[in-house]
C-alpha cells in the first residue's frame, strides 16, 4: 500500500477493533455499549458482551451468504437501521472482508460508479432502497445474486437468527489488513475511496478519545450518518477505545436530540456547528435537562465565534471542544480543549494524540508563526491512499505527509487557526480574501442565522464575492443593511456586492456546506 504508512506503535496492545471489543466485553460485559434503532423500528440496547456476540453472529450469517476474506461488501443503509449496520459492518470485517459504506443520498449513477470502482461483490440494503437496488441490478452484474436485504421482507433476519457466534473459524487479522474504504464527502466532484486498515481504525479511536477526553463513564451521542467517516470511525472507534456508551441518532432532529440527552443523561455530544445553532434556538430549561452534559464537540466545519460565545453563556457547565480532521486521516487531526475555547476563540487547537500536524508552504518548508500555509498530517491513523487512484494518492500523500487542501496559520503558542479551503480563497482585483473571514463578519449581524460566501467570475476583477444568507426565523434583512453593517468591520474590498437570501444552505450528509453547488447557483444569477 501507499499513503503515509506510519505503523501502529508497538506500545498499542490492541491491533484491531476486535481486540478493543474483546477487551471491553471482558472488562465491562454488562456495560451498555450501543443504543441504536433497528430496521424493525425498535430501539436496541446492547451491552459490550452482547455487542461482541452479535457481531460474531453476524459474521457467521454473512459467511452463509458466501462472504469471505478479501470480498468488498457495500452497505446502503441509514441510521434508522444503525443496529444492523454496526453488526453487519463489523461482522464483515470479522471475516476479513472490506466494508464500503455508500452515501444514501447518491443517485443510481453515483452508486453504480462507487460499486464498480470499489470492486464491491456484495450489497446490503434496507427496504427503502428496494427500487434503487433493482435499478442497480439492471445495470450491473457485479452484485447480482449477492444483495442482502435487511428489514421487512428481507432475508437477513433469518440468517442472523441461524448464525452461531461460537462457530468461530474467523481469520487472524493484523493491523495492516484493509478494513474499509470510506468515500470522501464529495463537496467537490466525484468522491474518492479512502483505504483504511484495522490499525488506522484503532489509532483513530485513540486519537479521538484523547481529543475528547472520553472515558468508560461517558455516554456519547451523535447524529452523524454511519456512511461517513465521522459516524463510522470517529464515533464508533473513539467509544470502543474508551469503553464508552454510544448512542446513534437516526437523524438530525433537535427536539428529539434534547429529549434524548435529558432521558439518557448524555455526557458528550458531537455534531456539526449548524446543529448547535438549532439547539440554541430550541433549548428550553423547563423542558430539557442537560445537567449531565460535560462536553459539546463540534467539527466537520468551522464554528462561528458568536455561536461559541452563545453556547458558553447558555451552557456554562459544558466544556466546548473543537475537533478537526479529514477522512484521509481516519478522521483524526486536532482538538481545542474547553479551557481554550474562549481564550483561543476560533482556533482548531493542537494535535490529537498520535497525530503530527504542521503548516507548510508549497515547497514543503514549515511556515513561520501567523503565516498562512497548508495543513499537513502524519500518524498511524492516516490512510493508505485512495483505492485504485495512484495519481490522486501521489498528489495528496507526499513525502510521508497527508496534504489536506486546508489553509491555516499557527500562532506563537502553537495553536492552529483555520483560514479556508485552498479552492475557496477568492482573489478579487489582486487581493486574497478568505471566505471564512467575510462569513464571520456577516454572521455577527443579529438578523443572520447562516451565511456562506463563494466566488463568481468577474470580467475586470477576475473574481468577485457572492454571499448566500439565511435570515433568522420571522426576520428580514436587506443587502444594504448588511453592507452598512460590514463597512466599519472589514476592508471595503472584502464586502460582497452580490447577495442571495435563501431559506437554507445545501449540505452534504456530514453537514458541510456544498460550496461547489453555491458557486454554480451564483453563476446563474443576474446581479
The answer to whether the CB of 255 falls within 8 A of the CB of 277 is no
The per-residue pLDDT for 424 is: 78
Domain boundaries of the chain, sorted by first residue:
198-422, 429-523
Residue 458 burial by Cβ neighbours in a 10 Å radius (0-12, 13-18, 19+): middle
d(CA 346, CA 303): 7
Mean pLDDT along residues 457-471: 89
**Whole-number Å distance between alpha carbons of 298 and 13:** 30
Q: Are 290 and 261 in contact (CB under 8 A)?
A: yes
CATH of the domain spanning 429-523, picked from 3.30.420.40, 3.30.300.30, 3.40.50.300, 3.30.70.580: 3.30.300.30
Is a pLDDT exceeding 60 seen at residue 189?
no
Question: CA separation (Å) from 506 to 228, 501, 511, 518?
Answer: 17, 13, 9, 8
Q: What average pLDDT does the segment 170-190 reach?
A: 83
How far from 157 is each of 163, 164, 448, CA to CA, in Å?
10, 13, 48
Per-residue pLDDT tens over the stretch 338-381: 999 989 988 999 999 999 999 999 999 999 999 999 999 999 99
Give the model confidence (pLDDT) of 217-260 as tens digits. Answer: 999 999 999 999 999 999 999 999 999 999 999 999 999 999 99
- Under the banding of pLDDT at 50, 70 and 90, the label for residue 436 is confident
Rounded CA separation 270/321 (Å): 9
Beta strands in 229-336 (DSSP E): 245-248, 268-271, 295-298, 319-325, 333-336
214 pLDDT more than 60: yes
Q: Which helix (H) or strand (E) holds 421?
A: strand 416-421
- Helices 479-486 & 435-443 angle (0-180, nearest 10): 110
Separation of first and last alpha carbons in the chain:
50
Q: Domain 198-422 adopts which CATH fold? A: Rossmann fold (3.40.50)
Give the residue, 187 or 368, on which the prediction is more confident. 368
pLDDT of residue 135: 94
In angstroms, rounded to a whole number, what is the distance separating the alpha carbons of residues 343 and 331? 26
Distance between CA atoms of residues 139 and 118, nearest Å? 16
Torsion of CA 503, 507, 512, 514, to 10 degrees: -100
Greater confidence (41 vs 301) lies with 41
pLDDT bucket at 152, cuts 50 / 70 / 90: very high
Please state, in angstroms and rounded to a whole number, the distance separating the CA atoms of residues 370 and 416: 9
Q: Which residue has the cell 452479535?
A: 54
For 265-306, how does the pLDDT look when each residue is reduced to its tens digit (9 = 90+)?
A: 999 999 988 899 889 999 999 999 999 999 999 987 667 788
Tell me, what's the pLDDT at 516?
85
Among the listed residues 99, 379, 86, the one whose alpha carbon sits nearest the alpha carbon of residue 237: 86
Distance of alpha carbon 194 from alpha carbon 189, whole angstroms = 15
Average pLDDT over residues 186-211: 86
Q: Which residues of 46-58 are buried (b: 16+ CB within 10 A; e: fewer)?
A: bbbbbbbbbbbbb
For residue 325, list its beta bridge partners: 333
Q: Strand 98-101 and strand 72-76: pairing? A: parallel
- Going by the DSSP 8-state scheme, the letter that residue 427 receives in this structure is E
Lowest mean pLDDT across 200-209, 254-263, 455-464:
455-464
Lowest mean pLDDT among 102-106, 150-154, 430-434: 430-434
Q: Is the pLDDT of residue 509 over 80?
A: no
Using DSSP, state whether 455 is helix, strand or coil. Answer: strand
- What mean pLDDT is predicted for residues 62-90? 98
Per-residue pLDDT at 188: 43
pTM, full prediction = 0.86
Amino acid at each position: 500500500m501507499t499513503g503515509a504508512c506510519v505503523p501502529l506503535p508497538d506500545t498499542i496492545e490492541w491491533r484491531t477493533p476486535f481486540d478493543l471489543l474483546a477487551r471491553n466485553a471482558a472488562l465491562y460485559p454488562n456495560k451498555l455499549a450501543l443504543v441504536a434503532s433497528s430496521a424493525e423500528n425498535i430501539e436496541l440496547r446492547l451491552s459490550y458482551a452482547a455487542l461482541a456476540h452479535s457481531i460474531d453472529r453476524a459474521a457467521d450469517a454473512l459467511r452463509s451468504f458466501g462472504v469471505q476474506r478479501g470480498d468488498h461488501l457495500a452497505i446502503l443503509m441509514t441510521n434508522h437501521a444503525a443496529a444492523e449496520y454496526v453488526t453487519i459492518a463489523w461482522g464483515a470485517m470479522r471475516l476479513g472482508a472490506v466494508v464500503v459504506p455508500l452515501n444514501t443520498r447518491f443517485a443510481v449513477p453515483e452508486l453504480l460508479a462507487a460499486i464498480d470502482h470499489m470492486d464491491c461483490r456484495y450489497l446490503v440494503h434496507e427496504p427503502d432502497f428496494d427500487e434503487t437496488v433493482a435499478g442497480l441490478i439492471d445495470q450491473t452484474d457485479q452484485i447480482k445474486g449477492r444483495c442482502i436485504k435487511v428489514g421487512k421482507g428481507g432475508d437477513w433476519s433469518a440468517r442472523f437468527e441461524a448464525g452461531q457466534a461460537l462457530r468461530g473459524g474467523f481469520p487472524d487479522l493484523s493491523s495492516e489488513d484493509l478494513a474499509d474504504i470510506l468515500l470522501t464527502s464529495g463537496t467537490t466532484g466525484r468522491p474518492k475511496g479512502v483505504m483504511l486498515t484495522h490499525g488506522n481504525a484503532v489509532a483513530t479511536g485513540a486519537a479521538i478519545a484523547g481529543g475528547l477526553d472520553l472515558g468508560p463513564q461517558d455516554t456519547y451521542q451523535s447524529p452523524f450518518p454511519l456512511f461517513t467517516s465521522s459516524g463510522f470511525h470517529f464515533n464508533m472507534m473513539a467509544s470502543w477505545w474508551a469503553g464508552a456508551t454510544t448512542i446513534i441518532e437516526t437523524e438530525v432532529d433537535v427536539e428529539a436530540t434534547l429529549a434524548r440527552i435529558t432521558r439518557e443523561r448524555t455526557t458528550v455530544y458531537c455534531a456539526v456547528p449548524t446543529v448547535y445553532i438549532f439547539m440554541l434556538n430550541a433549548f428550553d430549561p423547563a423542558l430539557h435537562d442537560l445537567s449531565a452534559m460535560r462536553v459539546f464537540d463540534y467539527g466537520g466545519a468551522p464554528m462561528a465565534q458568536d455561536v461559541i460565545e452563545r453556547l458558553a453563556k447558555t451552557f456554562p457547565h459544558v466544556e466546548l471542544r473543537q475537533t478537526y480532521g479529514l477522512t484521509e486521516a481516519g478522521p483524526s487531526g486536532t482538538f481545542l480543549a474547553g479551557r481554550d475555547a474562549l481564550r483561543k476563540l476560533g482556533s482548531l487547537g493542537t494535535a490529537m494524540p498520535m497525530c503530527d500536524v504542521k503548516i507548510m508552504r508549497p515547497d514543503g518548508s514549515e511556515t513561520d508563526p501567523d503565516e498562512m500555509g497548508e495543513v499537513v498530517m502524519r500518524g498511524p491513523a492516516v490512510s493508505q491512499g485512495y483505492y485504485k487512484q495512484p495519481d490522486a494518492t501521489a498528489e495528496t500523500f507526499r513525502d510521508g505527509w497527508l496534504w489536506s487542501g486546508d489553509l491555516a496559520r499557527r500562532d506563537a503558542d502553537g495553536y492552529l487557526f483555520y483560514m479556508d479551503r485552498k479552492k475557496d480563497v477568492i482573489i478579487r482585483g489582486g487581493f486574497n480574501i478568505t471566505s471564512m473571514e467575510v462569513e464571520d463578519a456577516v454572521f455577527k449581524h443579529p438578523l443572520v442565522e447562516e451565511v456562506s460566501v463563494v466566488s463568481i467570475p468577474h470580467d475586470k476583477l477576475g473574481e468577485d464575492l457572492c454571499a448566500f444568507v439565511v435570515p433568522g426565523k420571522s426576520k428580514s434583512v436587506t443587502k444594504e443593511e448588511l453592507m452598512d453593517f460590514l463597512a466599519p468591520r472589514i476592508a471595503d474590498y472584502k464586502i460582497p456586492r452580490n447577495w442571495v437570501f435563501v431559506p437554507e444552505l445545501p449540505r452534504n450528509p456530514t453537514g458541510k456546506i456544498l460550496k461547489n453547488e453555491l458557486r454554480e447557483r451564483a453563476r446563474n444569477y443576474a446581479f
